[in-house]
Amino acid sequence: MGSCIICGTSVDGKICDIHQEDVAFEFRGTRPGQLTPGRYYKGSVDGFAEFGVFVDIGDSVTGLLHESELDQRLDNLDWEPGDTVYVQVKNVRDNGNIDLGWSIRQSDREFRGKLIDDPEFDGPKLPENVDGQTDDQSTEDEQTTDAEEEETDEQATEDEQDPGHHQAEETTESESVASTGQPEAGEVRSRQADSEPETISETGGAGAAAVQKPAEEIEAELVTVDSLEDLVGEVVELKGVIESARQTSGPTVFELADGTGTVDCAAFEEAGVRAYPEIDEDDVVRLTGEVRRRRGELQVETEDLIELDGDEREEAVERMEASLTEKARPAAVEPLTDDETLADLTDAFRDAAGAIRRAVFEDRPVIVRHSATADGYVAGAAIERATLPLIREQHSRSDAEYHYFDRRPLEGDVYEMDDATKDVTTMLGNRERHDEQLPLYVFAAVGGTRESLDGLEFLDIYDADRIVVDTVAEPEIAEEVETVVSPNTDPASLTTVDGQLDGPTATTIAANVAIHVDEDVRDDIQHLPAVSFWEEAPEAYAEAASDAGYDAETIADIRDAVALEAYYQSYEDKRQLIADLLFEGRASDVDDEDARGLAAHVSEQFRSKLDIAVDTAEANFDVQTVEGVDVAVLDTEAFTHRFDFPPTALLLDELLRRQREDVDAIVGVAEDELHLRSQHELDVRAVADDVAEVHPDAGVEAGSTRSQQLTFLAGRRTEVLDATVETVADHV
């Protein structure tokens, strides 16, 4: 029998089961089967593949660290071939393949011990023992913690000879345990024997005794988490909610949030034993402890922790809510440009930005749902550009921006039950599997008309917060969702006038929300509104783009390129590609005028494909004149490539721009749907009602106010088309 080099427990070898993961093993075997799954091994980078990193474990075996196991993107990994790394052996397959896992510790000093794993030995050996030292000498060396290494030899000797010395010098003792997560071998037993009943339990830093000083005897000032930076070394009182509780091999670590921030609070009962088992996640608590700094991070060494109830709990919750609201809600900032159509939306901008910021502070994912159009993608990208820096600031994980922010384009322009069902299924699954909080949904360039009402109501059943950022938000939508940012409530405002949207685009609104989320992105996104206009952008937005280094030609290239990419894999966010198109194409950044970068290249494909489709469509127009009104009918089933670019809505928009002098309206008819376009204001719902009155058995409905679409039963196609042409002529 031997003793664990970490805690001193009697074991058959050098390490107990609890502390297997606290030791770095050096492998000296020759076959994969000689490795022990679960252990962390020292290795070296052998090479890279598209799907991960090959790591040599010892001299004879190589394993794969798959990209899914990394704590960051593979292309962000700064390892080079030959670099020393530490990995966990997760599995050794029957065929000899080795599955490796990520290790957050990447140096010898970060592990609490080192052992040699050699199949020729009878169990792991200490490196010093292999070199001829005795087991006792090696064990003593391995038990030296990071904090004790910083002490002098005389202090270390004094500590070993006088266990009670640790009780008298609380600071040294707490630092030792906090840096290792566990007291030295034998230290717990010595201090328990020497403890007096009235001694305060040194939880989180020691573990000497489970005896705690009564809460009423601990005097501490009530403070907030954001003030702890100036209170290191002081005993404080915090009131907040427990967001997580994780058990380490030493203390229990509670993550406490109070609306101003979060902090880890370490509480110690005994090694590997849950402290305060009655405290669960989401409990509102009062915690008393000493503020310490551990490896550069603030931590509170818990001395007392109780769950609040009654009036005290209610008061604490109200205090947290007020603090979080104040922290999240931004001050009013100057708009991107002078735009009188948005002049009355300052409070709405702040409301939406405050909700987004609060979600980030609460560790809730932000999900942006936007239409798969140029306007939708650019609007979503504006909010993304402002939110990601906030997420990076809030979370230390390198992949946090992918975990806490997502753009999910919609193939259509209505948030339907199918979309809502996918979202609900995903968010409930994430909550169940990963304990993820319910996300905040932001709808950009979609969700403002009542065709989206069913989907939005479905989210509300599960208490998911919703924000609509759109060119129009009907009263029913404003009543349903928590926050609306829109300049008007009339769907008729979506009608094009002389080929141009009558009113602001969704991007102009979203960009102003974005600068309220993070004003530092103003210079990055001030050109985006100009990108969202299909014809000449309003002067103020064109000037803003020019000031940012984007001339009119570059803006047109970007818009066309985004529109093309939005069509392909329309359900994907294409985050990096869209960022490259939107933010890497300044005219001032390009030396060769004939090679203006990625956007120019992609835009050439856009124009080529669109021109071919337009020429084909115009050659097959059936222009019908009804009471002096010219209506061009295009059979989109017969005279377009239905499963290739451009999509029907974009094609009809372009046809209207090019035909504005020749026709009053365009009707695109497919098997069971109609798309309407007009130079004049056209209420698609009124058209649907009139056609339905003529053909009540045709199932005619307004499928989308935004894209001016009707749906009907395919068997009544001819009758519905004829009635629609006559009705459109009456309405325009």
Per-residue confidence at 105, pLDDT binned at 50, 70, 90? confident
Per-residue confidence at 521, pLDDT binned at 50, 70, 90? very high
Indicate if 117 and 177 belong to the same structural domain. Answer: no
Residue 495: what pLDDT? 57
| 416 close to 545: Cβ distance less than 8 angstroms | no
Indicate if 371 and 502 belong to the same structural domain. Answer: yes
- Reply yes or no on whether the pLDDT at 47 is more than 60: yes
**What is the domain-level CATH number for residue 312?**
2.40.50.140
Cα angle: 278, vertex 283, 287; to 5 degrees: 80
Hey, what are 461's tokens? 């059943």
Q: Establish if 483 belongs to a structural domain.
A: yes
- Reading phi first (left if > 0) and then psi (alpha if -120 to 50, else beta), residue 261 is in left
Indicate if 566 and 445 belong to the same structural domain. Answer: yes
Q: How many domains does the chain have?
A: 4
> Residue range 606-627: average pLDDT?
95
Question: Of residues 39 and 8, which shows the higher confidence score?
Answer: 39
DSSP 140: H
Indicate if 371 and 225 belong to the same structural domain. Answer: no
The residue assigned the tokens 């969202």 is: 532
Indicate if 96 and 219 belong to the same structural domain. Answer: no
* pLDDT tens sequence across 360-416: 988 899 999 999 999 999 999 999 999 999 999 887 666 788 889 999 999 888 999
Q: Establish if 41 belongs to a structural domain.
A: yes
> Residue range 125-151: average pLDDT?
50
* pLDDT tens sequence across 478-516: 999 999 999 988 776 655 544 445 679 999 999 999 999
* pLDDT tens sequence across 122-132: 778 887 776 55
Nearest-angstrom CA–CA distance, 646 and 557: 16
Residue 240: what pLDDT? 93
Question: Of residues 70 and 514, which shows the higher confidence score?
Answer: 514
- Reply yes or no on whether the pLDDT at 345 is more than 80: yes
- Reply yes or no on whether the pLDDT at 155 is more than 80: no
Indicate if 249 and 345 belong to the same structural domain. Answer: no
Q: Establish if 595 belongs to a structural domain.
A: no
Indicate if 545 and 628 belong to the same structural domain. Answer: no
By three-state DSSP, how is residue 303 classified? strand
Residue 393: what pLDDT? 86
Residue 454 half-sphere exposure toward CB, CA atoms < 13 A: 7
Indicate if 313 and 344 belong to the same structural domain. Answer: no
- Compute CA 556 distance to the chain's CA centroid, rounded to the nearest angstrom: 30
Q: Establish if 150 belongs to a structural domain.
A: no
Q: Establish if 261 belongs to a structural domain.
A: yes
* pLDDT tens sequence across 241-268: 998 888 876 788 899 989 888 899 999 8
| 85 close to 73: Cβ distance less than 8 angstroms | no
Q: Establish if 220 belongs to a structural domain.
A: yes
By three-state DSSP, how is residue 91 classified? strand
Residue 113 CB partners (closer than 8 Å, separation 6+):
5, 6, 15, 19, 22, 23, 24, 142
**What is the domain-level CATH number for residue 693?**
3.10.310
**What is the domain-level CATH number for residue 390?**
3.90.1640
- Whether cis (ω within 30° of 0) applies to the bond prior to 646 is yes
Hey, what are 397's tokens? 């994980």
Of 291, 322, 353, the residue at which a domain comes to its end is 322
- Reply yes or no on whether the pLDDT at 192 is more than 70: no
Cα–Cα distances in Å, from 109 out to 115, 157, 204? 13, 21, 21
> Residue range 600-617: average pLDDT?
95
- Reply yes or no on whether the pLDDT at 151 is more than 50: no
Residue 77: what pLDDT? 81
- Reply yes or no on whether the pLDDT at 586 is more than 60: no
Nearest-angstrom CA–CA distance, 519 and 513: 10
Question: Of residues 507 and 53, which shows the higher confidence score?
Answer: 507
Percent of the chain past pLDDT 70, that is, above it, reads 84
Per-residue confidence at 577, pLDDT binned at 50, 70, 90? very high
- Reply yes or no on whether the pLDDT at 120 is more than 60: yes
| 278 close to 272: Cβ distance less than 8 angstroms | no
Of 143, 164, 191, the residue at which a domain comes to its end is 143
Residue 359: what pLDDT? 94
Indicate if 363 and 512 belong to the same structural domain. Answer: yes
Indicate if 210 and 62 belong to the same structural domain. Answer: no
The residue assigned the tokens 């009182």 is: 237
Residue 218: what pLDDT? 56
- Reply yes or no on whether the pLDDT at 180 is more than 50: no
Of 542, 568, 589, the residue at which a domain comes to its end is 589
Torsion of CA 160, 163, 169, 174, to 10 degrees: 80
Residue 323: what pLDDT? 85
Nearest-angstrom CA–CA distance, 382 and 323: 27
Domain of 315, in residue numbers: 172-322
Nearest-angstrom CA–CA distance, 302 and 281: 16
Residue 166: what pLDDT? 37
Residue 461 CB partners (closer than 8 Å, separation 6+):
none
- Residue 125 burial by Cβ neighbours in a 10 Å radius (0-12, 13-18, 19+): buried
> Residue range 107-125: average pLDDT?
83
Q: Establish if 226 belongs to a structural domain.
A: yes
Beta-bridged to residue 267, according to DSSP, are: 252
Indicate if 53 and 198 belong to the same structural domain. Answer: no
Nearest-angstrom CA–CA distance, 288 and 731: 72
Beta-bridged to residue 116, according to DSSP, are: 26, 125
* pLDDT tens sequence across 322-339: 888 888 999 989 999 999
> Residue range 613-626: average pLDDT?
95
Nearest-angstrom CA–CA distance, 481 and 602: 38
Share the mean pLDDT of the chain.
83
Indicate if 318 and 344 belong to the same structural domain. Answer: no
For every residue of 30-50, DSSP letters joined together read SSGGGS-TT-EEEEEEEEEET
Alpha helices in 496-584 (DSSP H): 506-517, 522-525, 528-531, 539-547, 552-567, 575-583
Q: Establish if 606 belongs to a structural domain.
A: no
| 361 close to 330: Cβ distance less than 8 angstroms | no
* pLDDT tens sequence across 202-221: 333 333 333 344 444 557 88
